[in-house]
Chains A and B, each alone.
Chain A
């Protein structure tokens, strides 16, 4: 398909395990965002990439969270030593624009992470 895809769609982890969540943005999109959505809440910003450069990581909750986009396309969000409070839906979004224009973005379906 032509949209943003994410894998896996569902992930169950035991507390303390490391997880890696993948995002395939729309081909050619410059901007890529990660958001975290807790149950019953709106998405919250985690980090932003413009091509391969991570320009903003101010939303990452702790140093257990790490994101990369090494070739400016696919991105991976890694969470080390998962905790129960990390349980949420992790949304990836991409935009063909940079700067403020990247406010218009296309979201993937998300990965639902459950930490037991």
Chain B
């Protein structure tokens, strides 16, 4: 089946630093999405990407849909303490909006 690899698994950064994480897939996705999950909560959508090569920003977040449609990255600029959490990439499978998720990147921000 399709494999979706997300890296890094975790990262410890200082407040103010930039963060970068990425996902790669063995197959093509039609849509890439990035979610953030806080403890005890469900994932919250950050950015959705629909076209190969698309670059989209949401505040301090920037994400890109890779040209090959098999990868995507998420950057967080000037991190702040509330950026702490687990970030998931997800690719859309098929016609119904079914998503395949990566294993997540845990971000810890230290003052």
Partner-B contacts on A (CB < 8 A): 4, 31, 33, 40-45, 48, 50, 55-56, 59, 91, 93, 95, 97-110
Once the chains bind, are A41 and B103 in contact (CB under 8 Å)?
A: yes
Given contacts A104-B33, A108-B42, contact A42 B96 (CB under 8 A): no
Shortest beta-carbon distance from A4 to chain B in Å: 7
What interface size band does chain B fall in?
A: 20 to 34
Once the chains bind, are B96 and A48 in contact (CB under 8 Å)?
A: yes
Interchain pairs with CB closer than 8 A, number: 78
Once the chains bind, are A105 and B97 in contact (CB under 8 Å)?
A: yes
Most buried by A among B40, B42, B48: B42
- State the main secondary structure of chain A at its contact with B: mixed
Once the chains bind, are B88 and A42 in contact (CB under 8 Å)?
A: yes
- Measured in the bound complex, the distance between the Cα atoms of B104 and A98 in whole Å is 26
Shortest beta-carbon distance from A36 to chain B in Å: 11
Shortest beta-carbon distance from A56 to chain B in Å: 6
User: CB-defined interface of B1-39 with A at 8 Å, one 1/0 digit per residue?
Assistant: 000001000000000000000000000001101010000
Write out the residue numbers on chain A whose beta carbons fall within 8 Å of the beta carbon of B104.
40-42
Query: Which of B31, B40, B41, B44 sits near A103, CB closer than 8 Å?
Result: B31
Write out the residue numbers on chain B whose beta carbons fall within 8 Å of the beta carbon of A42.
6, 88, 90, 101-104
- Measured in the bound complex, the distance between the Cα atoms of B101 and A4 in whole Å is 20
A4, closest chain B residue (CB): B42
Query: Which of B33, B99, B102 sits near A45, CB closer than 8 Å?
Result: B99
Once the chains bind, are A33 and B43 in contact (CB under 8 Å)?
A: no
Once the chains bind, are A107 and B97 in contact (CB under 8 Å)?
A: no
Closest 10 CB pairs of A and B: A102-B97, A42-B101, A107-B42, A103-B92, A103-B97, A103-B31, A45-B98, A107-B43, A48-B96, A43-B101
Q: Does B95 contact A (CB under 8 A)?
A: yes
Q: Does B45 contact A (CB under 8 A)?
A: yes
